[in-house]
Amino acid sequence: MNFQDVYTLQQALNLASLPRLNTAEDRAEHAERQRRLLVAQEDERVMAEWRQRHSEDVAYEQAYWARRREEDTRRRRETRLERRQRKALANAQSDIVAAGGQSFFAPNDDRWLDIWLDTSDDTAEDDNGDDDSDLE
């Protein structure tokens, strides 16, 4: 602080001039944003024009993605069903062993681990399945 009679930061801020808001960097950043906005607007205009001219391609693409969603949903349902079946089998074998019976699983069979499978059905119908899971 270069003021003789100022003793607090707030007093100095009150006396100091406001900072410049339009630096060269600010202007360059604004110009870049304007260019990007113009490109995005032109892209949207061209895409709208293309969709009007090629409506059959738009319909084909929509049908493709609808098929993909149906296939993904079917595949997820099949995977969940398979996991439930594996878990039920492992639990049944565990119950047999607990009751003094003989399991057809070997003692170190990996199927024993299926007891710990999560079979909760907490996925939504519109779930796209992109959960980065290695379970499928």
Condensed to tens digits (0 to 9), the pLDDT of residues 25-66 reads 888 998 999 999 999 999 999 999 999 999 999 999 999 999
For residues 68-89, average pLDDT: 94
Residue 2: Cβ within 10 Å count: 6
| Structure token digits, residue 86 | 């594996």
Length of the chain: 136
CB 15 within 8 A of CB 3: yes
Percent of the chain as helix, strand, coil, to the nearest 5: 65, 0, 35
- Each residue of 87-114: pLDDT tens digit? 999 999 889 888 888 888 888 888 888 8
DSSP 116: G
CB 115 within 8 A of CB 87: yes
How confident is residue 123, by pLDDT bands cut at 50, 70 and 90? low
